Structure formats: C-alpha cells, structure tokens
C-alpha cells in the first residue's frame, strides 16, 4: 500500500480535535437529562463534580499530552485497543455482515460468480497496493481518510490470552492467494502469480469446480476455534500450532487476501447466517465472502481494523464489476490450488467439535427481522425539508417509548473520515427536545404546538450530530480518558474516576437500547450486527429515494423479539410521516 492513502494525507486532512473536559462534562449532564429521573440527575451532578475536582483534570492532561505528541489521530490506537481487549466471541459483539440485493447481481452460476468476485478483489487489492486507486472525496470535494483500506486486505485478528493482536501481511504485488472453504475443508487458490497477473476466469472456475467435486473433505472444521471466546480461541489456536503443518496452514490463511466460502443449497444465505454461521466461518479474518448455490452473495467483516464505510465501498466496487464481460485472456490458464491437510490428535478434534457446537449455540441466540416501507424516502422527506436521519431517529425514539413506556438511550454511528485516520464516534440521539415532542405526540396531541415541538426535535438532532461530525462527541472522549486511567495505574490510582466510569448513570448514556447504523447504499439488501447491550437491539436503516429499508437484530432473551420491535418502528415511522405531511 503506497503512502498516497496514508501519510500523504497528513497535509490534506485536519487532525482530530480533542474536546475540552468542561464541555464534555457539561454535555454528559445535558444528554443524560432525558433518560434519567430527577433524583438520579442530582446524584449524577454530584458524581461529576467529584470527578471534575479530583481525577478528571489529570486524565485530560494525559490525553492531551498524547494528542500533542502525535501527528495522527489520538483516538485510533485507543479505539483499536478497545476492540482487541474484548474477550467475547467476535460474531456476537463487534463483527458486521450484509447480503447483496439480488437486483444488483448479474445472472451467473455459483462458480462463475465466485471466480469473478475473486478476480475483482484481486484487482481492487492491486489498485490500492500500486497506488492506482483514486483518492476519495466527500460531498464538499474535500479528501477523505483512506488509511483503513490497507487493513482490508491480507489481515486477520489473531486471538490472544490477554488481548488480541492484529496481523497484517506485507502487501506485495505478486504471489497472493485466497482461501476457499467448502464443506469444512480449506483450500488455497492462487489469485495473483509471480509476475503480478491476476488468475484468469478459466483458471479460477476450474479450481472451484474441482473443489466442489472433491469428496475427501475434512471431518471437523479447523476454523471453528475463531468463533470461541477470545481467550479460549487463543488456547486452541496455540494447541493447533504446536504442529508445524498446522502452523504453516494457519499462516497461509492469515496471509490470504480474503476468505471465500462456497455454500450449498440446503443452507440459505442471510445477513444473520453470514454474521453468525456457524459452519464454514472464519470469524477473525477481516474479509469473508459467501456465495450460495442459488448465487446470493454475503459479506462479513471483522471490525477492529476497519469501519463500515470503507468495507461497503469495497463491496460496492467488487459487485459492480461482476457484470463486466470476460476478456480473451480469461479463456486460458490452468487451475492452481491446494487442499490444506491438517494433523489433528484426538484432543484437538474433540476441542474443535466442541467449538462448532458452541458456535451453533451462539448463532441461535440472535434473531433478526427485515422489512421495507414503500412510498417513504428521501424524496418525500426532502419535500417537507426534513433531514431523513432526524426523521428516522425521532421515529425510533417514538417506537422505543411506546414499546417500553420509558426512556433509554439510542445511539447513531457518525463517520470521522474527514479527519486524518478518522474512524467513527457514537452519538446519543435522545434529546430533551425529542422527549418533549414524543411525550406530547404519544399522548395524542396533534396541534400546531406539537408540530413546533417536532421542529425543535429535528433541530436538536441536527445540532448534536453536527457536534459529532466535528469530533466533539462525548463517547469517544470518555473512552480516551478511561484508557488514560488504564495506562497509568488503573482504578487504584484513580478511585474517583473509577467511581465515575462505573456509575449506572454513565452506563445508561453509553449503553443504548437501540444501536443504529444508517447505510444508504442500493447494493445492500440487509445489514446486521449484534445489539450493543444484553437487552438491546441492533438497527440498520437505509433511506433511498422512495423507500426505507429496515433490519432489527435482538437476543432471544429480550422482552420483545425483533419482529415486534420492527413492527413498532414501522408503525411509528408511518404514523409520524402521515401526520407531518398533513400538517406541513
């Protein structure tokens, strides 16, 4: 990967700002007000006062020192560490997955589709590795950060006993493989040869046909360890790597451009199955692609090194080129692939079988539901001069209020790509203005005063998201100060900070009932990630010209299942729009 997408952008992109301590503490009080009671607000104010006059200034000073000493982002290494210390299974905590809309796909068979996808990924990789890919710009024409792209290719999150490690293979222009999984069996397929040429369509299709026709498949799935809790995964991986052949195999998989899974017709491909599996999934590889027998396509991404914007841009590029006709060179070439053989003793086989069983259990803990609201999209909302995201977030808060009868936080992911090494922040969206409107609307009020309350709620949302987009959000700032505590003696050295960070009030602010992501891309049929909290819901929405696409994920132990919450959201959005349109 050339410096074009990394250090060359230092002079073109601003450095991510560090919010002031005073402003962040003030916003905590303001943003907690709608979701905690009056008595709790007094306790929170006292807790913040103790924190502000004790440990907070020192932690802010340490964080500011880190900000001063780097030309890059103060947040990126902290956020990366935050992901890597997570000990829970990746597929139900941080990974995200999507399926591609069938309308965006050409009429190809499974083998040809998979072969073309591999070619397109190789082309994209070479474009970035050689510096030929163009720089991306935002709506204002200003450049966007592209440093994440180098972590999409040939990378893997390796499990560790205390924290995980990020493995990144040097990005050469020659001798690159892809890993293919079919029926629990691993194959290494040559994708770029010694001269830097991408394998031909004929070469790849013949390799994939031979893979599907192979009857000597593995009785246990070696990759099952990647779905375990991370400390357990590290121990099982270490057990595997005591054997040199196994160690070499795992190294080849780590060095691969990506993992592609061919899926039989008896296993329907959905966003949920792409995310959770449970068979033939290599959960800690950064990019995994699925091609089903009925030619549906899905993607799953490991989140610690990348964010959704770059992952979706890559997805869009490789899918868009599927319709390109094969050239004359593609009719030539011989297949180059190798089945990976494993040397597993009885204890390791038993452990891998148990891992597969646990992965299946995890897959059954989550449910999801998807729907489309027609005749309601950007065209209708912009005609009413309403920000589509503001409308959706108010509708979500209305659905939450009606379902629970109370107030819990809702968060929305905000991109920081217009900063150097910018990743994302999470913005709490339930404001005092939003609460006032929803209480009045929920009580049946429909007069002009309520319409004014709605307009105030929209303005409050726009202002808050604007703060997030300028790097002034509080969630990542709090994470930074918490990390300073960790690096400099921990809770014992900062007892007041520990009391503050462990307080239930702060937990209410940073732990959402609804964690939301807006992805306005036509290629996405469904997008899924696990809820952020043990009783929460993950919500994806996409607002296109004349429709809204919604997906809800929930744990099976939740009070309301995914279908019930999705119905509440759909009803709330529809009712809200009809009322706004009638009272415009």
The set of catalytic residues is: 303
- Cα–Cα distance measured from residue 119 to residue 357, given in angstroms and rounded to the nearest whole number: 34
DSSP class of 326: P
* CB proximity list for 69: less than 8 A, separation 6 or greater: none
DSSP class of 5: G
On whether the CB atoms of residues 224 and 352 are closer than 8 A, the answer is yes
Instruction: Determine how β-strand 176-182 pairs with β-strand 524-529.
Output: unpaired
On whether the CB atoms of residues 185 and 217 are closer than 8 A, the answer is yes
- Cα–Cα distance measured from residue 271 to residue 577, given in angstroms and rounded to the nearest whole number: 28
Residue 113 tokens read as: 């589709």
DSSP class of 183: T
Length of the chain: 584
On whether the CB atoms of residues 299 and 96 are closer than 8 A, the answer is no
DSSP class of 18: -
Tokens 């195999």 found at: 249
Residue 557 tokens read as: 């132990």
- Cα–Cα distance measured from residue 332 to residue 323, given in angstroms and rounded to the nearest whole number: 20
**Angle CA(533)–CA(155)–CA(192) in degrees, nearest 5?**
140
Does the CA dihedral 532-535-540-543 come out positive or negative? negative
- Supply the angle between the helices 448-469 and 432-442 in degrees, to the nearest 10: 150
Cα 213 → chain centroid: 35
- Cα–Cα distance measured from residue 202 to residue 501, given in angstroms and rounded to the nearest whole number: 58
Beta bridge partners of 349: none
- Cα–Cα distance measured from residue 367 to residue 365, given in angstroms and rounded to the nearest whole number: 7
């Amino acid at each position: 990967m050339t410096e074009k997408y990394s250090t060359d952008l230092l002079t073109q992109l601003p450095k991510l700002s560090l919010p002031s301590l005073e402003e962040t503490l003030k916003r905590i009080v303001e943003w907690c007000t709608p979701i905690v009671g009056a008595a709790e607000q007094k306790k929170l104010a006292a807790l913040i006062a103790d924190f502000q006059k004790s440990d907070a200034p020192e932690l802010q000073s340490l964080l500011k020192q880190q900000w001063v000493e780097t030309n890059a982002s103060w947040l990126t290494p902290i956020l990366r560490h935050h992901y890597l210390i997570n000990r829970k299974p990746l597929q139900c905590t941080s990974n995200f997955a999507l399926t591609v809309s069938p309308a965006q796909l050409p009429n190809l068979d499974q083998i040809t589709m998979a072969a073309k996808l591999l070619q397109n990924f190789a082309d994209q990789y070479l474009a970035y590795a050689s510096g030929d890919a163009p720089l991306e710009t935002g709506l204002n024409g200003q450049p966007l950060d592209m440093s994440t792209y180098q972590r999409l290719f040939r990378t893997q999150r390796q499990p560790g006993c205390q924290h995980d490690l990020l493995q990144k293979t040097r990005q050469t222009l020659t001798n690159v493989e892809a890993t293919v999984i079919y029926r629990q069996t691993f194959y290494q397929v040559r994708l770029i040869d010694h001269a830097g040429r991408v394998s031909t369509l004929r070469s790849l299709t013949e390799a994939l046909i031979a893979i599907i026709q192979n009857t000597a498949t593995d009785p246990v799935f070696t990759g099952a360890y990647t779905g375990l809790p991370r400390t357990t995964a590290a121990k099982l991986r270490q057990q595997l790597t005591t054997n040199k052949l196994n160690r070499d195999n795992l190294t080849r998989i780590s060095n691969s451009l990506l993992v592609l899974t061919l899926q039989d017709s008896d296993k329907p491909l959905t966003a949920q199955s792409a995310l959770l599996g449970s068979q033939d999934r290599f959960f800690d590889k950064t990019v995994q692609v699925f091609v089903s027998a009925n030619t549906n396509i899905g993607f799953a991404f490991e989140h610690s090194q990348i964010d959704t914007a770059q992952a979706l841009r890559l997805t869009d590029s490789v899918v868009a080129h599927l319709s390109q006709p094969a050239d004359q060179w593609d009719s030539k070439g011989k297949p180059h692939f190798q089945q990976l053989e494993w040397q597993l003793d009885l204890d390791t086989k038993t452990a891998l079988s148990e891992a597969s069983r646990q992965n299946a259990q995890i897959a059954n803990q989550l449910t999801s539901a998807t729907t489309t609201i027609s005749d309601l999209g950007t065209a209708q909302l912009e005609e009413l001069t309403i920000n589509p995201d503001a409308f959706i977030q108010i509708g979500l808060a209305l659905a939450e209020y009606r379902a629970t009868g109370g107030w819990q936080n809702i968060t929305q992911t905000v991109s920081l790509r217009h900063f150097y090494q910018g990743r994302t922040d999470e913005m709490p969206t339930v404001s005092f203005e939003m609460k006032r409107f929803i209480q009045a609307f929920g009580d049946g009020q429909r007069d002009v005063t309520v319409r004014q309350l709605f307009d105030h709620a929209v303005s409050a949302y726009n202002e808050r998201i604007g703060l997030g987009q300028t790097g002034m959000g509080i969630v990542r700032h709090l994470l930074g100060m918490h990390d300073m505590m960790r690096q400099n003696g921990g809770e014992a050295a900062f007892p007041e900070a520990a009391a503050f960070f462990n307080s239930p009030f702060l937990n209410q602010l940073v732990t959402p009932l609804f964690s939301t992501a807006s992805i306005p891309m036509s290629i996405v049929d469904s997008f899924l990630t696990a809820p952020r909290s043990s009783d929460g819901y993950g919500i994806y929405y996409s607002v296109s010209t004349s429709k809204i696409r919604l997906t809800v994920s929930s744990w099976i132990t939740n009070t309301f299942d995914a279908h019930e919450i999705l119905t509440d959201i759909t009803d709330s959005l529809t009712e809200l729009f009809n009322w706004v349109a009638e009272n415009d």
